Chain A
């Protein structure tokens, strides 16, 4: 792993807030949305992964030290690893509670975790959804997606909110008898147009006409 400070472009000893700010800037810069039609998207993704690792490393370190830098590397590493494992199992517990529908228990666990990365906001978002606090849920899920834009699970949760709304709307349209998709007539029209265009260019889409 490269020097995480170098990756984030900050001086050694920058405080948690500074690390976060630098991180958010970089995430915005390398966001997959910016690289959608770019052949270099895989590189951007790699870059982002490196940034995420550096950020996770530094934030956990900052937390383990409680804001005070320690000179004893060995001790620090041991402590940090413990913290990391503990944090992991807390997330798993919270996730299990969310799945069981025990929102209060999940929330209590989350509130005790002071390191707040993408997963924290994701789980918080799920909890808000369960409680019916949709606005807070969307805000949390958006934060989670912004922090880890490559995470499909987070993105999926956010999309689900939009999709259920769309589902509801299209039910209304169908009930009213408005058709949301193209009808047969316009499908035929499209096909014929395509065929004409193809023939103009020397090809053929429908061979019999």
Chain B
């Protein structure tokens, strides 16, 4: 995925921060254990949120252990261990990374993504063999996405549909209980987060896609015609904001319907974290990328 779903760290309580890091490190270790150390480089924040949300929905009491890590062998940290929801998030992270690499090869070719894909093959085989249905959901979404891009789809809503639907299904599929309404709520949260991720990434990538001539739904929707990029972005900023905020307010509206553990962390992410990210990306309308800090991985650069 993309790595946009992050907490607003300064607004977290210390204990919340420790807990979030526990989930983060837990996911990283789970990936390393199941799919090899190399896969840990593909770890991203969106999957951490997925694991955290699913664990919280199931009211899981996390088993915490103090462990050291290759990134920091001296200092031991709390790590969430043996959570089936973290393992689920790890599977999804690996599957998505593999498909992303395949997509990179199709788009750009070159040696680097090919090597990365080769290195990921074993991890993918492991993850896919145990999760046939997840693999199918992701593959179907990618096929639909490729088709829309080939048709140069000019509706941002339509273009976001495959990704939003995929996240909706993946989140709902991670629910193990039998309450129909919970899986419906999770599905709607997934849909809206997927839409938000897709759109914010599209806005973030406008300059890059103009340069490389790649497909971008916003360039199509608002008929970009070689005008000044800055003017173009500030011209569409307000309309894009309405869409992004609507997706977020639908998400938080749905979250409020769930009974959750870790509500403090999840609220921090969905309110302060995502709103802050939205405004940061939208306000970044200069054409010189260097002046805007870019701390997330793009769709097209994962694994590179």
Contact = CB atoms under 8 A, between A and B. Distances in A.
A164 B272 contact: no
Nearest to A162: B242
A171 B120 CA distance: 42
A132 B242 contact: no
Interface stretch (A50-58, A83-91, A133-141, A180-188): A133-141
Interface in A101-148: 128, 132-136, 138
A175 B157 contact: no
Given A165-B246, A165-B249, A168-B245, A132 B192 contact: yes
Given A168-B275, A172-B275, A176-B11, A134 B249 contact: no
Interface residues of B, number: 26
B125 interface: no
A128 B11 CA distance: 35
Interface string B224-261: 00000000000000010011011111101100000000
B275 A134 contact: no
B248 A132 contact: no
A134 B251 CA distance: 13
A167 interface: yes
B168 to A, nearest CB: 9
A168 B250 CA distance: 9
B205 interface: no
A34 interface: no
B195 interface: yes
A84 to B, nearest CB: 32
A169 interface: yes
B242 A175 contact: no
A149 B250 CA distance: 27
Chain A interface mostly helix, strand, loop or mixed?
Answer: helix
A13 to B, nearest CB: 35
Interface in B160-214: 164, 188, 191-192, 195
Given A134-B242, A135-B239, A161-B242, A171 B271 contact: yes
Contacts of A161: 242, 246
A175 B156 contact: no
B246 A164 contact: yes
Interface string A24-55: 00000000000000000000000000000000
A169 B275 contact: yes
Interface of B: 11, 155-158, 164, 188, 191-192, 195, 221, 239, 242-243, 245-250, 252-253, 267, 271-272, 275
Given A128-B157, A132-B192, 4 more contacts: A134-B246, A168-B275, A169-B275, A176-B272
Interface of A: 128, 132-136, 138, 161-162, 164-165, 167-169, 171-172, 175-176
